[in-house]
Amino acid sequence: MDEARKVFIDYLHRQRMKVTEPRLAIVNAIFSRQKFHFLADDLLRIVNARRREKISRATVYRTLALLEESGLLRRERYGGEVSSYEKALHEGHHDHLICTECGSVTEFYSDELEKTQRRIARRHRFKSTDHVLQIFGVCEKCAK
Amino acid sequence: MDEARKVFIDYLHRQRMKVTEPRLAIVNAIFSRQKFHFLADDLLRIVNARRREKISRATVYRTLALLEESGLLRRERYGGEVSSYEKALHEGHHDHLICTECGSVTEFYSDELEKTQRRIARRHRFKSTDHVLQIFGVCEKCAK
DNA sequence: GTCTATGCAAAAGGTTTGCATGGAG
DNA sequence: CTCCATGCAAACCTTTTGCATAGAC
């Protein structure tokens, strides 16, 4: 996605930060791939796979933080110890079905669910801004 | 709650593990308090507050693991880096309203929500076993 | 007495940071 | 030319583990 690249560059300009090669390489690595979720460590490996001058772990983490601030990524932790990152460009909030067998994550969106949640929040006089719903279980493939 | 203490002791017996003073001190500290959620580090501080012979961090973690295995606690991670533990005695599944201002956690249960989730899982041919729903926002108190 | 639990300190594992240097603007 | 970004290594922080000793059964 060149869309993401553009958003990121705009963000850097707005913040008077520099558009550097390592930063671009990282956004490209993330958004030219179709996977929605990944771990910092996987990204490090992927982005450096075909490079002579390796990008350091520190830079990967620093760039992930920028991507999060710019709204391009969302950082999450599913019960595990490591953070995973999710692309946020394909916006429109959604929730997750997480397979405990193979670890696959399926996204879904349900308007009904959103409405129910808003109703619950209202009932508790809670001003909700966001939510995370993870349904754990076994996906179709693993169920066979 | 003496209920929890009893369940824990039974569990230890069943596992041929020892009922030691530090273990009892930890269950008591957790279940004589009304809070449902806490961090390992807070627990360490609380349990040692009035003790001459301090319980070590290692023992606290080891005991928390036992309490989790025995079903008395549930371990969770809300986006932060540290685990928090939730008492599981007051059973019956429930979800959380989490205030991003003061960090307070309010529990709720909605049958309608449960049904909707089951419907979604079915639609995706996903065998759900469990789920976690966290609604983030601002609680009534902090909203003022 | 035996064998598990404890404390201590060190190890782990993911993430962050300080500092000197390299490179964008 | 001026600062910000990078790499490296060390620091961090929570949690886990190895080992010698203390204590439950």
Half-sphere exposure of A123 (CA within 13 A, CB side): 12
Nearest CA of chain B to the CA of A107: how many Å? 10
Highest mean pLDDT among A68-82, B8-22, B99-113, B114-128 belongs to: B8-22
Question: Which pTM was predicted?
Answer: 0.72
Which of B77-81, B100-104, B133-137 shows the lowest per-residue confidence on average (mean pLDDT)? B77-81
pLDDT, tens digit, 9 for 90 and up, residues A28-85: 999 998 677 888 999 999 999 989 999 999 999 999 999 999 989 988 765 445 667 7
Contacts 24+ apart (CB under 8 A), B118-122: B120/A97, B120/A108, B120/A110, B120/A113, B120/A135, B121/A97, B121/A135, B121/A137
Nucleotide D16, nearest residue via CA and C1': B58
Question: Using CB atoms, which residue from A120, A133, A140 is nearest to B126?
Answer: A140
pLDDT, tens digit, 9 for 90 and up, residues A5-32: 999 999 999 999 999 999 999 999 999 9
A128 at the B interface (CB within 8 A)? yes
